Structure 1
Amino acid sequence: MKKFLLTLSLILCIVMAYSQKSAIPADNKLQTKLDSLVNKSAIPFMSESSRVGLSIGIIKDGKEYFYNYGSTQKEKQILPTASTIYELASNSKTFSSTLLARAVLNKKVSLTDDIRKYLNQDYPNLQYDGTPITLLNLANLTSALPNWMPDSRELFAKANPDSIAYLLDAVHRKYSRNQFYTDLHKVKLDTIPGALARHCNTAAQLLGHIMETVYGEKFGTLIRNQFTTPLKMKNTVLLGNGKIPASMAFGYDAKGGKMPFIDWEDMQVAASIASSTSDMLKYIKYHLNEKNEDAKLSHQPTTGDIRKGAIALNWKITKPENGPIRISHTGGSLGFSSYVVFSPEMNSGIILFANDSDMKTQNELIKLAEMILY
């Protein structure tokens, strides 16, 4: 009998421990197969010590589904909703690319235009052996420009790793658009534009600025007039001047430190759009419908191997051997991670937001999307 009671006690302890680990706040009703699939995928993700909150929006066969886990902040428990706002970070770049596609279709620009046509000063340095940087090079990551300006690598090399995010924030809060263009004169390209695809925030900044010039409007006005108003995206904003929406989640690093928001003047056009799952499904719906010619143009591969991941106008285009074409983009800031992927062939897509940013979060979001959608 004693042995039986000890065994029973041990089993109860294990069950209780598992239940406590699994007791993650969520609004998943667990009533459908999709509910169960999402939960089976989300719980292991949320069980990582660095996780704070997770919001998922899915469109499948024309229907929308929303799931939320964890909290909008570490300091107190507030379950996120479909209206909770997260930083898009680099997913902001796809808005500029859609603007570029519209400008091409409206014959305002050509993808082969030398970018210097749209700059106010002379930049003889923005070419390599006579080959200039084009608008296409800005949008498909082949500009050969440096990833960041200013180059702060020397400052960061001497810093405590835990302080780098705050140093980066301090640098860019003082770095104006005028300083950006002054430093652009000092850039020396190390390869021919178009030859090599690599991540480049500088290119995204320039593309956003050039779109302002082409359309004759500030970026925030462009986002409002071209996207948020016509698509009725009521929770989507361009961060700036320290103005943070009341429904904004807080972002954290891998150790749980609260991170600054990316509302820097120089990076605003490349990384400062913030949105919710409900709004981003509206944006995904627009891109799923390739009768929208600007969406279709922005999805056309321009460089790379589609089997491994080609680049269109900022979007990554992948065609697995036995699956539909997938159009995707990741986003990572000081305290947020995001991933969007959709397939016009399947008429399905997913947006995932996490308000933490450790070294693994973006890859884990990609895995989540694969498990849930494909």
Structure 2
Amino acid sequence: MQATSMMVRNRRWFNHFLWPAALLVAGCTGEYVPAKDLEAEIDEVAATLIKQPLLHSTSIGVVYRGKEFIRHRGDMEAGKPSPPTDVTLYEIGSLSKTLAGTLMANAVLERKLGLDDDIRIYLHEAYPNLQYQGDPIRIRHLLSHTSGLPNMLPERANTVLADFTDQRTPRELNAIYTRYGKADFFRDLHAVEIRRAPGKDYAYASSGTELAAHILETVYKSDYESLLRGFFRDAAAMTGIRIRLSDAEAARLAVGYHSDNAVPTTPMPQLPWGASGNVKATAPEMVKYLKFQLAGGPVVTESRRTLVEFDPEFSIGYFWNIVDGDRLKGIYYAHHGGVPRSQCYIYIMPKYDLGIFVITNQSGDQTARAMEAAISTLVERIAARENGAGQGLSR
């Protein structure tokens, strides 16, 4: 599919833990006639997914025309009975950014800030470096990855991530972020050089999402995690999302594997705010998020409004990737998430009133490919039902 391959070439799908790789989009090989209910179909797709090399387990959440489905398959720890369940906490990586984007959309609607605000009015020190030839970084540039900021701060983290599959990467990331807090982030922000006019060129920047969290803290006078949990509790009945875990909650965190390492790896290190990649959630919580997205409403609509159109097929909203021109999926909204021991996807497809969340507890160079194929298979089968192939059968 042209839109998908274009995005991969530009690394638009991938967060700071991923690498260029061609995504596999499974095409229909013939007319598909549903022979089982959708829950069984999802279970079959999950079972096929974990047959891929190095994949241990998966959880899939689907909301389709108001009906909810959750399926878990496999064992989280190789060689040990340890299936994921509805209480398993997952690290959702850069899917966290879509939550931050939702909070920013709400702040815009509440007139707490404006998309064209110079971000420096929300910083507590002078940052004359956060502009290019008089053009400042604005809030819309943070949300659309067009700020010109580096992917990660401190910048040495980007060197480590350049060879993501190296088995040393998780250990080196942990060393970098041990005791790396907000004061360190702002110190390193002084040294950033903006080399092009903000607002034009796409360059994935998790540091921009961390800055967005700081701006939210400033305008609401509350810490980011409290804002996150409070908004989604009230708006989506999501009571279980977390950035930092208690000891009891940490015991429910999914075991995960990095690359081809047979030994489980450590959790993603804590970032200063955690808005760009530290949210944890269960599969049922993510199903609530799918329902929230599919229900629409002013905040959701604003969060998925196009802020920058890069070409007729690919745009960016409030951290959401917006894809047009796909014959099967229609216009859809998506994001990939990844940490050193898990990867996931979220897709919102209004054409079918469909939301899909897929997560695995392994993070390697073929993981995204396998999940994309699984999602494509699910969409094909649902499209077949919509087109009448499944008349008289369970929908």
Deviates more, 1:122-131 or 1:362-371: 362-371
Which of these two proteins has the greater Rg computed from alpha carbons?
1
- Structure 2 residue 135 is matched with structure 1 residue 131: yes
Whole-angstrom CA distance in 1 between matches of 2:237 and 2:298: 20
User: 1:40 offset after TM fit, Å?
Assistant: 4.2
Q: 1:309 maps to what in 2?
A: 314
- Structure 2 residue 149 is matched with structure 1 residue 149: no
- Structure 2 residue 90 is matched with structure 1 residue 89: no
Q: 2:36 maps to what in 1?
A: 32
Whole-angstrom CA distance in 2 between matches of 1:146 and 1:158: 17
Q: 2:349 maps to what in 1?
A: 343
Whole-angstrom CA distance in 2 between matches of 1:122 and 1:287: 38
Q: 2:375 maps to what in 1?
A: 369
Q: 1:62 maps to what in 2?
A: 66
1:358 pairs with 352, 357, 364, which one? 364
Identity score, percent: 28
Q: 1:196 maps to what in 2?
A: 201
SS at match of 2:370: helix
After superposition, the Cα gap between the structure-2 partners of 1:195 and 1:239, relative to the gap in structure 1 and judged at 3 Å, is: same
After superposition, the Cα gap between the structure-2 partners of 1:311 and 1:171, relative to the gap in structure 1 and judged at 3 Å, is: same
Deviates more, 1:251-260 or 1:100-109: 251-260
Deviates more, 1:324-333 or 1:312-321: 312-321
User: 1:158 offset after TM fit, Å?
Assistant: 10
After superposition, the Cα gap between the structure-2 partners of 1:154 and 1:38, relative to the gap in structure 1 and judged at 3 Å, is: closer
Deviates more, 1:66-75 or 1:37-46: 37-46
TM-score, scaled relative to structure 1: 0.85
Q: 2:300 maps to what in 1?
A: 295
- Structure 2 residue 252 is matched with structure 1 residue 281: no
- Structure 2 residue 46 is matched with structure 1 residue 42: yes
User: 1:175 offset after TM fit, Å?
Assistant: 1.5
Whole-angstrom CA distance in 1 between matches of 2:138 and 2:73: 43
- Structure 2 residue 106 is matched with structure 1 residue 102: yes
Which amino acid in 1 is paired with 2:370?
Answer: E
Residue ranges of structure 1 left out of the alignment (5+ in a row) = 1-29
Which amino acid in 1 is paired with 2:331?
Answer: I
Whole-angstrom CA distance in 1 between matches of 2:277 and 2:151: 13
Whole-angstrom CA distance in 2 between matches of 1:75 and 1:175: 36
SS at match of 1:304: strand
Whole-angstrom CA distance in 2 between matches of 1:134 and 1:159: 30
Q: 1:12 maps to what in 2?
A: none
- Asked if structure 1 preserves the Cα contact closer than 8 Å seen for 2:75 and 2:81, the reply is yes
Q: 2:244 maps to what in 1?
A: 239
TM-score, scaled relative to structure 2: 0.81
After superposition, the Cα gap between the structure-2 partners of 1:324 and 1:306, relative to the gap in structure 1 and judged at 3 Å, is: farther
Residue ranges of structure 2 left out of the alignment (5+ in a row) = 1-33, 381-395
- Count of paired positions: 344
Whole-angstrom CA distance in 2 between matches of 1:96 and 1:182: 23
Whole-angstrom CA distance in 2 between matches of 1:124 and 1:90: 29
2:177 pairs with 172, 178, 181, which one? 172
SS at match of 2:72: strand
SS at match of 1:264: coil
Q: 1:21 maps to what in 2?
A: none
Q: 1:215 maps to what in 2?
A: 220
- Asked if structure 2 preserves the Cα contact closer than 8 Å seen for 1:85 and 1:275, the reply is yes
Residue-by-residue CA offset, 1:212-269 (whole Å, 9 max, x unaligned): 1111111111122111354232432112587743322111112233222124142522
1:121 pairs with 125, 150, 159, which one? 125
User: 1:131 offset after TM fit, Å?
Assistant: 0.6
- Asked if structure 2 preserves the Cα contact closer than 8 Å seen for 1:58 and 1:348, the reply is yes
After superposition, the Cα gap between the structure-2 partners of 1:163 and 1:238, relative to the gap in structure 1 and judged at 3 Å, is: same
Q: 1:268 maps to what in 2?
A: 274
Deviates more, 1:78-87 or 1:310-319: 78-87
User: 1:165 offset after TM fit, Å?
Assistant: 1.5
- Asked if structure 2 preserves the Cα contact closer than 8 Å seen for 1:143 and 1:203, the reply is yes
After superposition, the Cα gap between the structure-2 partners of 1:182 and 1:41, relative to the gap in structure 1 and judged at 3 Å, is: same
SS at match of 1:362: helix
- Asked if structure 2 preserves the Cα contact closer than 8 Å seen for 1:71 and 1:80, the reply is yes
- Asked if structure 1 preserves the Cα contact closer than 8 Å seen for 2:115 and 2:139, the reply is yes
Which amino acid in 2 is paired with 1:218?
Answer: D
- Asked if structure 1 preserves the Cα contact closer than 8 Å seen for 2:224 and 2:273, the reply is no
